Chains A and B, each alone.
Chain A
Amino acid sequence: MAILEVNNLTKRFGGLTAVNDLSFTLNESEILGLIGPNGAGKTTVFNMIAGFYKPDNGRVVFQDQDITGLKPYEVCRRGVARTFQVTKPFLDSTVLNNVMVGAFMQAHNAAEARDIAWKALETIEFGDRADAMGHEINVPDRKRLELARALATGAKLLLLDEPMAGLIPSEKGHIIDLLRKINQEGFTLVVVEHDMKVVMSLCPRIILMDRAMKLVEGTPEEVCSDPKAITAYLGEEYAARDPEPRR
């Protein structure tokens, strides 16, 4: 069953088209990978779905409701939460209080929010840092904080913007395990990621974007063997050296 439908989404900034006529469907409990070179428009897609940018054209339908052009907080209330590529912790609050802000979305009072926040922290295996201040934690912890906060809102769909950027491989492995766990608990995930190894192991389905357009969509194997994908990432020369050229 489709949880999210993106139809003909387009965003222009002056003369630059950041996202051009992008459509895709996301099924419930799926992990979708959104990949592509820098500047391909991945984050802009997130910004449009999450309400930070108004699309110039196209529609976003979440759980059969049109959420195109809603404000970010309205989108979150419908059940779509996002994380940021450049993490945005509330610096002067503890980790627990950071997560509580998200938890208030589904809580009636502070005590309930605290319980929900603790549960989210435990899911992320992050409870040991609950008392640390937002400005005290390092990059991997900031990434986990983003995740815990989004989780605590009770959203069904999480848009994760490079949740592993800047991490070392062992930390990446840890986050991958966490994302799988979250997914098994019923959350649907869209993950923007650069590391192909990560995407290959995490996402059963991938969309490759390049220059504002959807270039290839399919399983990791399909995407990797597509000459268009190789061209986008490595350039024409390498595509030509493909052992089985399609020409």
Chain B
Amino acid sequence: MKQRSISFNWMAVAFVLAIAMIIPFVLEKHPYYVHIFILVFLFGYLSTAWGLVGQSGQLSFGHAVFVGLGGYTSTILFMDYGVTPWVGMFAGAIVATLFGLIIGYPTLRLRGPYFALSTLVFGLILQTYVVNTQMLGPINLRGAMGLLLPLKNGGDAPAVFQFATKTPYYFIALAMMVSVVLLSYLLNRTRIGSYWTAIRSDQEAAESLGINAGRYRLLAFLLSCALTALGGTLWAQYFHYINAERGMALSLSIEIVLVGVVGGWQTVSGPMIGAMIIIPISELLRAQLGGGFAGLHTLIYGLILMGVILWLPKGLNPLVMRGLKWLGDRLWSTSPSVRTPEDSGR
């Protein structure tokens, strides 16, 4: 029984991926819709990376900072030092990890809201600092102006992460999202994932079974910081621009949190599903209502979020999973399955 539905889930994944592969070609004449898909993947990526912290039982309200750190590091390295963002993105990941260590090391050993508050405050401090700082030693932060990515060859230079059309960005964003979801899925099948689940379920019990909770939380957070920074580079390359006003903003942190929470906090596929639902709604509402009724789209967006949180506190993920299971049972219902001992998970 289990075997069957697992193989169905993989088939569903393969099917969705196959559709995802042809979408940019079908929508070639409608770059705006391709843009929405790229945003879905970008936020799916960022929220899944953020969700790793959630899997270890903590909440980060400052993840925009790591988007910003990633984008700033790779972009400054490119602008002022000529380093290609393909390399710079990993430098960004290292910088984000170091900052993560500064916030996480003292606070993740404590129980209670200290970590969540620290991320929130750290985000506000760093954003304020970058917005108001032109030069940090030899590093040209350019203050409130932000970093406008200089285009090479009119923006058609794959060697420096610049592409003429949206399609390459689409596939890079898709690949990044799929990779991070796969990473999260695989981690969940190892000691690390098992320990994260234990720590978020009951820290005392976890520690009594030999788990250094603080250390495994720090691991989750640092991994999350590094991955989020990679997403920051994608952000900067795609928009050709990154500034602290938006790229390190509390509002961006909250967006990442909301996408994750609506989809299903602390699940592997939840944040991805959240992005698939929230981002198009948010974008389309803005496009439809943004002109005549400025602000109305935010109101509707807010109502939808309230509804989800009120009626689906575990997010949309269980609903989607149940739907998939229902579909799987329907499609296979012609051959009644016999439950064998192998099915019991051994």
A134 neighbours in B (Cβ, 8 Å): 201
The answer to whether B202 touches A76, judged by C-beta atoms less than 8 angstroms apart, is: no
Cβ of B19 within 8 Å of any chain A Cβ, yes or no, is no
Shortest Cβ gap from A238 to chain B (Å): 38
The answer to whether B208 touches A76, judged by C-beta atoms less than 8 angstroms apart, is: yes
Which of B195, B197, B198, B210 sits near A153, CB closer than 8 Å? B210
Contact with B along A126-153 (1 / 0, CB 8 A): 0000110010000000000000011001
A96 neighbours in B (Cβ, 8 Å): 345
Considering the complex, which residues of chain A in the window 64-113 have a beta carbon less than 8 Å from any beta carbon of chain B?
A: 71-73, 76-77, 81-82, 84, 88-94, 96-97, 100-102, 104-105, 107, 109-110, 113
Residues A104 and B197 in contact in the complex (CB < 8 Å), given A81-B208, A82-B208, A90-B205: no
Instruction: Give Cα A126 to B198, complex, Å.
Output: 20
Number of chain A residues whose Cβ lies closer than 8 Å to a Cβ of chain B:
35
Shortest Cβ gap from A113 to chain B (Å): 7
Instruction: Give Cα A118 to B345, complex, Å.
Output: 11
The answer to whether A93 touches B195, judged by C-beta atoms less than 8 angstroms apart, is: no
Instruction: Give Cα A90 to B195, complex, Å.
Output: 11
Number of chain B residues whose Cβ lies closer than 8 Å to a Cβ of chain A:
22
The answer to whether B210 touches A77, judged by C-beta atoms less than 8 angstroms apart, is: yes
Which of B191, B201, B209, B212 sits near A110, CB closer than 8 Å? B191
The answer to whether B208 touches A101, judged by C-beta atoms less than 8 angstroms apart, is: no
Task: Specify the chain A residue showing the minimal Cβ separation from B197.
Answer: A93
Task: Specify the chain A residue showing the minimal Cβ separation from B198.
Answer: A101
A149 neighbours in B (Cβ, 8 Å): 205, 209
Cβ of B322 within 8 Å of any chain A Cβ, yes or no, is no
Shortest Cβ gap from B216 to chain A (Å): 10
B333 neighbours in A (Cβ, 8 Å): none
Instruction: Give Cα A73 to B210, complex, Å.
Output: 4
Contact with A along B189-208 (1 / 0, CB 8 A): 11100110110011011111
B206 neighbours in A (Cβ, 8 Å): 90, 101
The answer to whether B212 touches A71, judged by C-beta atoms less than 8 angstroms apart, is: yes
The answer to whether A73 touches B211, judged by C-beta atoms less than 8 angstroms apart, is: yes
Cβ of B29 within 8 Å of any chain A Cβ, yes or no, is no
The answer to whether A90 touches B345, judged by C-beta atoms less than 8 angstroms apart, is: no
Cβ of B340 within 8 Å of any chain A Cβ, yes or no, is no
Cβ of A116 within 8 Å of any chain B Cβ, yes or no, is no
Cβ of B346 within 8 Å of any chain A Cβ, yes or no, is yes
Which of B191, B197, B201, B207 sits near A113, CB closer than 8 Å? B191
The answer to whether B204 touches A118, judged by C-beta atoms less than 8 angstroms apart, is: no
The answer to whether B207 touches A72, judged by C-beta atoms less than 8 angstroms apart, is: yes
The answer to whether A84 touches B205, judged by C-beta atoms less than 8 angstroms apart, is: yes
Task: Specify the chain A residue showing the minimal Cβ separation from B267.
Answer: A92
Residues A118 and B346 in contact in the complex (CB < 8 Å), given A73-B211, A100-B194, A105-B210: yes
Residues A76 and B210 in contact in the complex (CB < 8 Å), given A88-B202, A88-B205: yes
Instruction: Give Cα A73 to B346, complex, Å.
Output: 28
Cβ of B344 within 8 Å of any chain A Cβ, yes or no, is yes
Cβ of A206 within 8 Å of any chain B Cβ, yes or no, is no
Shortest Cβ gap from B295 to chain A (Å): 39
Residues A110 and B190 in contact in the complex (CB < 8 Å), given A50-B208, A101-B211, A102-B209: yes
Considering the complex, which residues of chain A in the window 112-127 have a beta carbon less than 8 Å from any beta carbon of chain B?
A: 113, 118
Shortest Cβ gap from B211 to chain A (Å): 5
A73 neighbours in B (Cβ, 8 Å): 207-213
B201 neighbours in A (Cβ, 8 Å): 89-93, 134
Shortest Cβ gap from A75 to chain B (Å): 8
The answer to whether A130 touches B345, judged by C-beta atoms less than 8 angstroms apart, is: yes
Task: Specify the chain A residue showing the minimal Cβ separation from B215.
Answer: A73
Q: Which of the listed residues A52, A102, A105, A150 has the most CB atoms from chain B within 10 Å of its own CB?
A: A102
Shortest Cβ gap from A135 to chain B (Å): 10
Q: Which of the listed residues A72, A89, A94, A130 has the most CB atoms from chain B within 10 Å of its own CB?
A: A72
Instruction: Give Cα A72 to B195, complex, Å.
Output: 15
Instruction: Give Cα A189 to B17, complex, Å.
Output: 54
The answer to whether A97 touches B194, judged by C-beta atoms less than 8 angstroms apart, is: yes
Task: Specify the chain A residue showing the minimal Cβ separation from B204.
Answer: A88
Query: What would be 12 A-B contacts, judged by CB atoms less than 8 Å apart?
Result: A71-B212, A73-B212, A81-B209, A90-B202, A100-B194, A101-B211, A102-B210, A104-B210, A110-B191, A110-B194, A131-B344, A149-B209
